């Protein structure tokens, strides 16, 4: 692109970056990204550390781990410039498999991911102290689970699209109990 340069400090094979080295992206005279690690056929491939400026002047996101054909794949740690971080498995460039994700707003999730979303079984705590353990589908509590409110309330049962829905038991803060649908 205009006003962009790319440098590579490692070896090349057929004119493409190969082996271990350092790659830098320079836009308008300033480094906008680096990769230190293994390359194959001109793409990130193997272990390495990628740093990218996603919003100009707002710091760098950092991803350290394994790459296949330019995408994170396998165990890695992602640290966002805003303070969020994820440690766990990636597949095809997305969170996929078991992992731990902590957001700067205080939300924490430990469990299964699929295609970048909470999917499978997991444990979620929000900034208000509410906690959920159970099944997730497409990022939301769906299926069997237990919700404990930061206020002391509790619901155990079926969830759909993030909300209690179906058979379950609700216990209010004052001890009142409802069981049913």
Digit-coded pLDDT (tens) for 6-57: 999 999 999 999 999 999 999 989 999 999 999 999 999 999 999 999 888 7
**160 touches 147 (CB < 8 A):** no
Residue 159, helix vs strand vs coil: strand
Tell me the whole-structure pTM to 2 decimals. Answer: 0.89
Digit-coded pLDDT (tens) for 61-78: 999 999 999 999 999 999
Q: State how far the Cα of 5 lies from the Cα of 65, in Å rounded to an integer.
A: 25
């Amino acid at each position: 692109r205009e006003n962009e340069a790319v440098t590579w400090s490692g070896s090349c094979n057929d004119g493409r970056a190969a082996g271990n080295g350092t790659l830098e992206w320079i836009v308008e005279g300033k480094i906008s990204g680096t990769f230190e690690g293994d390359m194959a056929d001109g793409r990130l491939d193997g272990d390495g550390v990628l740093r990218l400026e996603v919003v100009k002047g707002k710091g760098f996101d950092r991803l350290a781990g394994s790459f296949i054909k330019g995408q994170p794949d396998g165990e890695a740690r992602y640290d966002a410039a805003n303070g969020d971080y994820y440690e766990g498995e990636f597949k095809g460039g997305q969170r996929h498999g078991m992992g731990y994700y902590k957001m700067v707003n205080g939300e924490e999730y430990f469990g299964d991911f699929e295609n970048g979303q909470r999917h499978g079984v997991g444990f979620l705590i929000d900034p208000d102290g509410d906690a959920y353990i159970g099944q997730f589908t497409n990022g939301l509590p769906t299926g069997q689970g237990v919700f404990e409110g930061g206020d002391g309330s509790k619901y155990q049962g079926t969830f759909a699209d993030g909300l209690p829905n179906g058979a379950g038991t609700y216990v209010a803060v004052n001890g009142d109990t409802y069981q049913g649908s």
